[in-house]
Structures are given as C-alpha cells and as structure tokens.
Structure 1
C-alpha cells in the first residue's frame, strides 16, 4: 500500500482515507487549507492510485494493513479522517483499535445496507469498462466535485481500477453496517454528511451518531457527496477545530 507522509515529525498525526474510485490526491485541497502544520499520513488504498497493482479485497484486510501502518507511524494514536469508502474504514478502525484512533472524523459513510446488493453488483461488473472511457470518467469527476486541476489524476485512477477492485470495494460499501465496537467507543468522533446527499446517506449519518454516544453529528448545508473536494475550506475548518487550531 503506497503511503505519502509529510509534515513536521512532532506535529499531530492525521490519517486521511480517501473514497472509492479516487486516491490520496483527493485530500490535497483540504491539506492546503489547514491553518496549522500537521503530520499527514495519506495512503492510496489497495486497488486505487499507486496501489492499483493489488486489487481491493475487503474492508477487513484493508483495516489490518492500516493498523500496521498506524502502529509504526503513530503508535500513540492519530486523528483518523475518512470519506465515503474511507469513512467506513475509519469506523472499523475506531471500533477495532481505539488505542490508535484518538479522534474519528467520518464523512459521508453509508451505514445501512441496500436491498438487492447482488443485483447492483452484477450491473456494476458489466459496466466496469465504462470507468476507462474518458468521457464517462469526466462525468463522474463532476459528480464528485473534482476540481479541474485534479481531473487528470482522477482520469488516471479510473483507467487503472480493475473490475475486481470495483466489485469488491462497492460490495463492501453496499453491505456495510456499524460494528459493535463503534458504539462502545468513548473517544470523540464527528459524523458529517452533506445536506444535499441522498436520504440513505443522511439516515446513515444518524445511525452512526445514534450508535456512539461520544459522537457529534454535523449536517453541512449546501454540500453533496463530496465535502473534501466541493468545500475543502469547510473540511479543513472542521479538522482545525478537532485538532484545537483556530481556522483561517
């Protein structure tokens, strides 16, 4: 798993987990907007970006790898931030290793499984080659609020993603439910969702918040499924507040 680490060694560690179909580059606008230095740990998850040579297999296997990286890079714990697919991994990581997750920021995580997931995955597998079609990929980039400067990286990621990665990662996403350990955790957590997201996503945010008494729920007005790319200034302000830094 390719990982970029940057920032002062003594700065607060921040593990940033990207969504499906993109890679670590999606966090650049947010990092640039942060008010104070942090030590960022930004992986390209399996099957994505510079880790595309190994297919995504499961959330459990990915969390195993993330645990090992945190044990090595931030043994005292880190603030873990995830978007969409990465947000589900953040929930699992916080549930399994509360000693490594001092604060969890969960952005746009689906937490209610959908009906007929197998049918949806079958259709997705059939349509997988579309991801390599540049015109289709550009439309998807627009849906995710990818800024024009980062569109080439999105197109490159789309061309690399395999059918196996697509089906495995989306399958895990569609079937995801919060583990028991999430509700038992006492560390702070922020669950955020865009007010313009689908009702399933807004309800999922409520489910995650209701399950964990130590969490805070934020519904971000004017935002769809893409807070870190649509409004990196707001994403950075949320993180600055969690890290005890004044934003701006």
Structure 2
C-alpha cells in the first residue's frame, strides 16, 4: 500500500525517520520535501493550495491508485485538503496536529515572524528551537541545515497559510478512513482544532495523545506506527 508522509513547515522529510523505523516493510512509503524545504529548498513555495494541487498531480501520475496520507501540522492541513478535494486518491488519512481554527491578529503574528525569521538561519538559535520541537539528537543537524536554507519569504508564506486554515467544505463528505490526532500538552486551540475536524467528519477517529506536545511523530513514533497499522489493517 502506498503511504505518503507529508512533513510540517520548517522541517523536511527527515522528520519521519523515527516513524519509518517502525512501519511495515511492505508499505510503499513516499516522503516528499515540500517546496522551499529540505531537498526542495530551491523550489519557490507559492501557497498551500498550489502545493496540494502539485501533490495531487504527482500521485495521479506516479502512483495512480488510492494512497494513505499521513500529515503533520502544516502537512496535516495539506492531507485534509487532499482528502477533501481528491477522495478517489486517498483511501486513509491521518491528520496530526493540524490547526483548523484561524489565529487572532494574523497581521501582527506575521509581522513579528518576518522580523525574527533571520534568527532561524543561525545554527545556535536553530539548535535551541530544535529542542522545543522535540527533534532528537540524531536529527539535529538535519534541522539546522533545513533552517539555514529556509527563506524568510517561505517561512512567512507557510505560517500565513497555516494560521488562516479552516476546515474545507469537502471534508465532511470524505468517505475513507480518517484519524485525527493532537497532543495532550499542545495549546488549547490545537486540541479544539482536532475536535472541530472530528465533529465535521463524525466517522473519523479522534485521539488526544498523552504525554505529547506538538511533536507526536518525534515523541512517540512507535505508538504512532502501531496506531497507523491498526487503522490500515
């Protein structure tokens, strides 16, 4: 079965390495780097909608059959959009820590982010941020390298799309298997977002994961792999 792992903003496909160690060898795992990130740092990030359309085109052309899509944070929003817009391509979807309620004062948030963005390219600051994001020591240099290549424009555009995201109109009609997760220690609006996604699609499974913040794939990769295996059985 094809399984597409869609990373969050500010990281890259390497963030899935801990999870991949526990996934069944028979799964055909596809791990893209989104535009502006990791191995795709040279490709301009235009918008979340464009990235979703590009991923849809890739799956139609290169896979050609229904996939399981697992998304984290910004990537989870893409997974929701893909399931909503192309349900024929998505047999299962796992939505991990997706914000689904627009932030208050987005202009202020984006202004502060643009001013602080150059700090992300400093190795010392990046290493400090990595600890807060639950990046394990063996992936620390991957995070630093990704941060050093992340442009201010990409960072601001990603965050802008992230904090303005709302539940797509097609989500309640998704007929595949859906799993919605958030960490117990995440901020309240993230857990509210998970519940909003579940309420919009009552056939989905909802879990608030104990002892986790905004980093379930990195904090509890073995648990997550077991949960995905159960969903995809």
Scaled by the length of structure 1, what TM-score is found? 0.92
Shift of 1:17: 0.1
> Do the aligned partners of 2:177 and 2:231 also contact (CA within 8 Å) in 1?
no
Distance 2:190 2:71 in 1: 15
| Aligned partners of 1:192 and 1:205 also within 8 Å | yes
Aligned residues of 1:45 and 1:51 also touching (Cα < 8 A): yes
After superposition, residues 170-209 of structure 1 pair within 5 angstroms as: 170-209=159-198
Instruction: Please give the residue correspondences for 1:19-98 in structure 2 after superposition, counting only pairs within 5 Å.
Output: 19-98=8-87
Q: Does 1:215 align with 2:215?
A: no
Q: Give unmatched runs, 5+ long, in structure 1.
A: 1-11
Separation (CA, whole Å) in 2 of partners of 1:102 and 1:212? 15
Distance 1:66 1:92 in 2: 11
Matched residues in 2 for 1:213 and 1:156: separation? 40
Matching residue within 128, 134, 142 for 1:139: 128
Cα distance in 2 for partners of 1:136, 1:76 equals 42
- Tell me how far 1:117 sits from its aligned partner: 0.3
Which deviations, in whole Å up to 9, do the C-alpha atoms of 1:181-236 show, x marking residues without a partner? 01111211000000010001000000000001221101110111001111111111
Q: Figure out how many residues of one structure are paired with residues of the other and give that number.
A: 233
Tell me if 1:233 matches 2:184.
no
| SS in structure 2 at match of 1:180 | coil
| Partner Cα distance (2:133, 2:99) in 1 | 16
TM-score (norm: length of structure 2):
0.98
Counterpart CA distance in 2 for 1:144 and 1:168 is 20
For the residues of structure 2 that align with 1:116 and 1:32, how far apart are their CA atoms?
Answer: 40
Which residue pairs with 1:7 in the alignment?
Answer: none
Q: Distance in 2 between matches of 1:216 and 1:14?
A: 18
- Segments of structure 2 that go 5 or more residues without pairing to the other structure are none
Q: Matches of 1:115 and 1:163 in 2, distance apart?
A: 21
CA distance in 2, matches of 1:210, 1:14: 25
Report the CA distance between 1:74 and its aligned residue.
Answer: 2.4
Runs of 4 or more above 6 Å deviation: none
| Alignment partners' CA distance in 1, 2:197 and 2:140 | 32
Contact persistence 1:74–1:100 (CA under 8 A): no
